[in-house]
Amino acid sequence: MSKINILSATDRPGSMALKVSKHVQSKFDEENVETEVISLSDFPIMDVAGGKYGKNIDSVTAFNARVLDCDGLVMVIPEYNGSFPGILKLFIDYLPFPEAFNKLPIAFIGEAAGAFGALRSVEQLQLIANYRNAYLFPERVFMQRIKSIFSEEEGIKDGMTNKLMNSLVRNFTDFTERNKHERERKAGVEA
Ligand SMILES: Cc1cc2nc3c(=O)[nH]c(=O)nc-3n(C[C@H](O)[C@H](O)[C@H](O)COP(=O)(O)O)c2cc1C
């Protein structure tokens, strides 16, 4: 059976992305899929201050290994200024190059206050994931007007969004299972 990690792609305290990530985890639980939720609030940002690109930083290596120790990755992405959060790009810029996302199945969920549900953020991130040779899962979910359609207590209150999320969870599980043999887990990453 595959292991799927769910990355909450912001470090904002009290983030909706983390709440959505936990909710999505509960949907994977129903499919009996092993998952781990990881938040970019745990990315060791202080250790990269000053621009330590290409240097071996133990805390960053350990964080990267935790994220990449999976057969498939779901990214839950808020929209910040028409894009994805800066901390996510920083995280990606400190991943081992070129192997980190190579042949890794990745699914994308956007959430935003606005009407487009982080469509822009997801599509910008997909360009990068594609550049890094990930296997992009084609079903995406855009959670628009997040505060009205989702709460921690009630989950996804919009029927269509809930249906799309269930489909993503079920089909991404299959997609990961089909593609996982192409990639060694933790490929190229030494914890
Ligand atoms: C720095 C910042 C920039 C934002 N920019 C946008 C935006 O461009 N479009 C939008 O719809 N919402 C924007 N929002 C609102 C967030 O998308 C929304 O509050 C979302 O739920 C935040 O996710 P989070 O709780 O995981 O941080 C922004 C929020 C922040 C903190």
Cα distance between residue 7 and residue 156, in whole Å: 19
Question: Where do the structural domains in the chain lie, given as residue ranges?
Answer: 3-182
Read off the pLDDT of residues 79-106 as tens digits, 9 standing for 90 and up. 999 999 999 999 999 999 999 999 999 9
Atom of ligand 1 nearest to the CA of 112: 17
Ligand 1 pocket, residue 146 CB under 6 Å = yes
Q: In this model, does residue 16 exceed pLDDT 80? A: yes
- Predicted confidence at residue 1, as pLDDT, reads 85
Q: In this model, does residue 188 exceed pLDDT 50? A: no
Ligand 1 pocket, residue 117 CB under 6 Å = no
Q: Give CA separation, 23 vs 30, 31, 98, 147, in Å.
A: 11, 13, 32, 14
Three-class SS state of 86: helix
Three-class SS state of 38: strand
Q: How many helices (H) and strands (E) does the chain have?
A: 6, 7
> With contact defined as beta carbons under 8 Å apart, do 176 and 2 qualify?
yes
Kindly report the length of the chain.
191
Q: In this model, does residue 153 exceed pLDDT 60? A: yes
Ligand 1 pocket, residue 40 CB under 6 Å = no
Banded model confidence at residue 191, pLDDT cuts 50, 70, 90:
very low
Which residue, by CA, sits nearest to atom 8 of ligand 1? 81
Which residue, by CA, sits nearest to atom 31 of ligand 1? 80
Which residue, by CA, sits nearest to atom 11 of ligand 1? 114
- Predicted confidence at residue 183, as pLDDT, reads 87
Ligand 1 pocket, residue 22 CB under 6 Å = no
- Predicted confidence at residue 190, as pLDDT, reads 42
- Predicted confidence at residue 185, as pLDDT, reads 74
User: pTM here?
Assistant: 0.97
Which residue, by CA, sits nearest to atom 17 of ligand 1? 112
Which residue, by CA, sits nearest to atom 30 of ligand 1? 80
Q: In this model, does residue 186 exceed pLDDT 70? A: no
Read off the pLDDT of residues 41-57 as tens digits, 9 standing for 90 and up. 999 999 999 999 999 99
Q: In this model, does residue 66 exceed pLDDT 50? A: yes
Architecture of domain 3-182: 3-Layer(aba) Sandwich (3.40)
Q: How high is the mean pLDDT of the chain?
A: 96
Q: If you measure from the C-alpha of residue 67 to the centroid of ligand 1, how many angstroms do you get, rounded to a whole number?
A: 23
Which residue, by CA, sits nearest to atom 22 of ligand 1? 78
Q: Average pLDDT in the 166-182 region?
A: 97
Ligand 1 pocket, residue 144 CB under 6 Å = no
